[in-house]
Amino acid sequence: MAKKKDEVRVTPPRETGRVVRRVFPGPDAGGTPLRVNFDRQAYADLTGHAKESVDAEVGGVLVGEICEDGDGLFVDVRAVIRALAAREARAHITFTHETWTKIHAVLDRDYPDLQIVGWYHTHPGFGVEFSAMDRFIQENFFSGRAQIAFLTDPLGGDTALCFNGAKGIEALSRFWVDGREHKARVPASQSASTAVENAAPGDVRRDIERLEARISQLIQAVDEQRTNFYRVLMTVVVFVCAGIITWVGYAIWSDRMDQLEPPRVQSYVPVPMTIGGETVMLGIGIVNWKVPPRLDALITRAAQAEVELREMQRQELLKLQQERQQKKTKPKK
């Protein structure tokens, strides 16, 4: 595994390292690198839990003591603490932060004098070969010197155990329940690490192929979505640009058209005028002036206003004259 242990470990399992001096409950067990003994009740709890689900994996942690006698270390499993089951069939059991929190709560409440000596889980119907994921969990969460992995297939009835040996994860061929020996399945090659590499190659490959197919489908879907999105975006951008260009063009055009042209003189009409007793000829130009419609309307309005003003003044004048005439005629009455 490429990842370092410290990066992955969420909450380290409590393996205090405390070693108790005790005599191994079984007969002389020479030739086993690590002896593992299960308390009768703990083993019953474990197998009972294992048989509860034939679809999804179940599992938990093994709680007990690390003991030592004349022959070296052995693990005494005294109880099991259940972890959350995998949610889907064939999905792997996981040790999340939440799982650890619950496990530690139970450990502190019910087994304050014990420590976590390993973990167990099931492979319902697909054998007891340790998968790459199992190996990952063992290496990252249960790396203590006497922490074991216990794997059982509730349908096939097989069991396998491994521990952290000097050369990595190693399989154990035997374990004990209250001192009675049980056989465990050992991969063809004694080295468990080689076995892990060969673990159910067909199964794993098929799973990986399925996963790859699904991922490529997803990537394709995402690509399609992205292309569609860009297409829509481009269309919108083109429309907006066309609109802006049209608007700017119209503005420039209408600005040009609005420009005032100077009035063009068509002809002069000479008009005689008396200025200071002398008669001079003044030329009045008749012009042709193209004015833009807006200005035209303005001029028209101004002209109208002037006409109205003159009319009002004329009326006022008329009224004034009438009043004067009435005043002149009144006294004669």
Which residue number has the CB closest to Zn ion? 134
The helix or strand, by DSSP H or E, that contains position 118, with its residue range, turns out to be strand 115-122
Distance CA 23, CA 31 (A): 17
Output the smallest distance, CB 187 to Zn ion, in A. 14
Output the smallest distance, CB 121 to Zn ion, in A. 5
**Does 129 engage in binding with Zn ion (CB under 5 A)?**
no
Question: Is residue 183 within 8 Å of residue 173, measured between CB atoms?
Answer: yes
CA atoms within 13 A on the CB side of 209: 6
Distance CA 218, CA 221 (A): 5
Of the listed pieces 123-131, 173-181, 200-208, 321-329, which binds Zn ion according to CB under 5 A? 123-131
* Total Cβ atoms within 10 A of residue 287: 11
Q: Closest CB to Zn ion among 131 and 147?
A: 131
Give exposure, 120-130, as e/b (b: 16+ Cβ within 10 Å).
bbbbbeebbbb
Q: Closest CB to Zn ion among 39 and 134?
A: 134
Q: Closest CB to Zn ion among 84 and 291?
A: 84
3-state secondary structure of 89: coil
Output the smallest distance, CB 126 to Zn ion, in A. 9
Total binding residues toward Zn ion, as defined by CB under 5 A: 2
Of the listed pieces 127-135, 243-251, 258-266, 311-319, which binds Zn ion according to CB under 5 A? 127-135
Distance CA 82, CA 60 (A): 4
Of the listed pieces 129-137, 152-160, 235-243, 266-274, which binds Zn ion according to CB under 5 A? 129-137
* Strand partners for 82: 60
Q: Closest CB to Zn ion among 37 and 131?
A: 131
Output the smallest distance, CB 177 to Zn ion, in A. 22
* Total Cβ atoms within 10 A of residue 160: 25
Q: Which one of residues 134, 153, 170, 177 is an interface residue with Zn ion (CB under 5 A)?
A: 134
Q: Closest CB to Zn ion among 89 and 307?
A: 89
* Total Cβ atoms within 10 A of residue 182: 13
Q: Where do contacts with Zn ion occur on this chain (CB under 5 A)?
A: 131, 134
